[in-house]
Structure 1
């Protein structure tokens, strides 16, 4: 799973796709990542006030990582 992220909603889309690709229910994914069901749901729904530390925890738990690049960067 990869994609450009410009908003919390973009993160939510990627998290939901990965969870479903892994065959996990929302409840199972939340338990596996050691966060509450409501928090996991908020991440998937792009809640802009979700705590970044816990979002990073969820991403790591799902086998995802964040890479920050300068705007316009091209991998050659």
Structure 2
């Protein structure tokens, strides 16, 4: 498990996973209904990439996404 702090770090991990699986950008793009340009934008950390596509891309590559909520903020009475 790796901590991701920004879109560039997330994109680099997505690219690393895709390359380890020997999948081309245009092939993974076709699998999720997107272009290779979209995949490139995600992999280079473009912050305007849509969430739905990022989640689809991660799912297709077998990448699991977790969110850890801060415990101290969860126990407030606001």
Q: Same-fold call, TM > 0.5?
A: yes
Map of 2:60 onto structure 1: 61
For the residue of structure 1 that corresponds to 2:68, the secondary structure is coil
How many Å separate the matches in 1 of 2:35 and 2:26?
Answer: 8
How many Å separate the matches in 1 of 2:38 and 2:62?
Answer: 18
Backbone CA RMSD of aligned residues: 1.5
Unpaired segments of 5 or more residues in structure 1? none
**2:45 is the alignment partner of 1:46:** yes
Structure 1 residues 29-58: Cα deviation after superposition (integer angstroms, max 9, x where no partner): 211222111110100000001111111111
After TM superposition, where is structure 1 displaced by more than 4 Å over at least 4 residues in a row? none
How many Å separate the matches in 2 of 1:41 and 1:71?
Answer: 32
**2:15 is the alignment partner of 1:16:** yes
Taking structure 2 as the reference length, what is the TM-score of the superposition? 0.81
Q: CA deviation at 1:63?
A: 0.7
Taking structure 1 as the reference length, what is the TM-score of the superposition? 0.83
Q: CA deviation at 1:28?
A: 1.4
Q: How many pairs align?
A: 71
